[in-house]
Structure 1
């Protein structure tokens, strides 16, 4: 039996941590909002009061946080993981923070610490059901069985390669949704009924994006989607991804920041 520390119990982190309760390992959880640890503690996990406390006795430390700033604080801030992680432990970074942030944090970890970057594709439902796609780079062999609790593990290469592939795939998915939004705005301007347009698009190459817009089961904040595309546009100057990012920012500014990604379509309109 291993001891696993899981840090970050947001919409994705909480169901992912719950998956680990069935693996036979000892689970320690931490979250900035302490109340989020309580359901897992009631099911057999232990709660830590700080990231450092969580990491101190863990064989594997998993981070699932919202953004690079949050990851920086949890790893290297006061009472952070870096000050207490065991020299034989492995850090598994599952947040979507981009390859540049992953490379920077890897360089700052104590020597000898195992490292895997393993962001995921999928939303809350697949997270609860163990049906995510785990894009893993680095020392994957050390934790592949454990990562299998979350879904299908894809070996991407060296450290940082999982983070890079995640940005590529999530950028395509997000831009596809905003493209459908623009096409629906065009349909409205031309008098084509919305459902007629969606049905036609669902029969073509944008089928997955239409399915995402029509899904009532997904739960991915517009604000987090905008963050992900900002990571992409910071990495490369690409006009279409920039336009998609800007639509997400507009939707967030107009009150949809905490709503699911599909809501961005209602904020897309002709200039």
Structure 2
């Protein structure tokens, strides 16, 4: 029997996209997928997803298109290049972008897509990492028309514990920038703390349980501190390059708004230094090496 649920298209089957797609399939949604490396779609195909050959072909088959891509350039390419989503988009469709992008670029692309095709855009970046994607407990911060966000709320309930409309298109991306400023700066301080505890002769593996529930506690502390203390850098759950990209976006956004982000600016410099030493594709838990090596 054909499903009565909206048909979904998902572009970007990476660390986050794969578990998100699994949950959408488990909820019974017909799912069409596309990824630049098609082999990453094979697991989803075995679960019932249909692999499409281009983003345009995917868009032609679905009610709603979702993106989870690396950066602004990747989203722009998938939407507007030859065989992109804009070629087959139509009024009544929605594009929901889970990627973390520059807010101004998001607003510009959303306006161009709607003007050209009638397809509307919701920016809905997420926080919670791969564990949140697997458990369906992501925090989703959305920008777009209120009616569009309410339309997708039942679908996104399979992916997240919370969906908050932050304002018009672009507001979700601004909120994600704020999220990433907190996460990245926290990750760097945790690395600094673990390295300091080790140098001072304290068992750094005890830091997270010792501080649990106190004023310094946080999810990053509970996740990263044990990994850093044990030098457990795999499996890779997220990437240093992602935090660096988002910190650069934060600094750029602050400059555009006439403000300053000195803490995030310093964090970007430290993250860039770490990345330049071969860690861009590694887990942020490796940041502890930046401070361990600095003390040698």
User: What TM-score, normalized to structure 1?
Assistant: 0.91
State the match for 2:257 in structure 1. none
| Cα distance between partner residues in 2 of 1:140 and 1:227 | 26
Q: 2:85 aligns with which of 81, 85, 88?
A: 81
State the match for 1:247 in structure 2. 270
State the match for 1:193 in structure 2. 202
| Cα distance between partner residues in 2 of 1:203 and 1:146 | 33
Q: 1:61 to 1:166 in 2, by over 3 A?
A: same
Cα contact 2:241–2:281 (8 A) shared by 1: yes
Q: 2:160 aligns with which of 151, 161, 164?
A: 151
Output one character per residue of 1:115-160: Cα deviation in whole Å (capped at 9) or x when no partner. 2110000111210111111112212012111111101212222211
State the match for 1:102 in structure 2. 106
Cα contact 1:51–1:74 (8 A) shared by 2: yes
Output one character per residue of 1:10-46: Cα deviation in whole Å (capped at 9) or x when no partner. 1001111111102322110000001011110111010
Q: 2:69 aligns with which of 65, 70, 73?
A: 65
State the match for 1:232 in structure 2. 250
| Cα distance between partner residues in 1 of 2:205 and 2:93 | 55
Output one character per residue of 1:32-70: Cα deviation in whole Å (capped at 9) or x when no partner. 001011110111010111111111122100010001111
Give the superposition deviation at 1:193. 2.5
| Cα distance between partner residues in 1 of 2:180 and 2:151 | 26
Cα contact 2:191–2:225 (8 A) shared by 1: no
User: Where in structure 2 are there 5+ consecutive unaligned residues?
Assistant: 228-234, 255-259
Q: 1:232 to 1:63 in 2, by over 3 A?
A: same
Within 5 Å, give how 1:10-159 maps onto structure 2: 10-111=14-115, 112-138=118-144, 139-152=148-161, 153-159=163-169
Within 5 Å, give how 1:210-221 maps onto structure 2: 210-214=221-225, 219-221=237-239
State the match for 2:217 in structure 1. 207
User: 3-state SS of the aligned residue for 2:45?
Assistant: helix
State the match for 2:287 in structure 1. 264
| Cα distance between partner residues in 2 of 1:185 and 1:161 | 37
Stretches of 4+ moved more than 6 A in 1?
none
| Cα distance between partner residues in 2 of 1:114 and 1:28 | 19
| Cα distance between partner residues in 2 of 1:185 and 1:142 | 47
Of 56-65 and 19-28, deviating more is: 19-28
Give the superposition deviation at 1:192. 4.7
| Cα distance between partner residues in 2 of 1:261 and 1:205 | 23
Give the superposition deviation at 1:74. 0.4
What is the number of residues matched between the two proteins?
270
Output one character per residue of 1:83-135: Cα deviation in whole Å (capped at 9) or x when no partner. 11122100101100131221111111033322211000011121011111111
Q: RMSD between aligned alpha carbons? A: 2.2
Output one character per residue of 1:181-235: Cα deviation in whole Å (capped at 9) or x when no partner. 234445566x353528835655643321421313558711111111111111111
| Cα distance between partner residues in 2 of 1:116 and 1:181 | 35
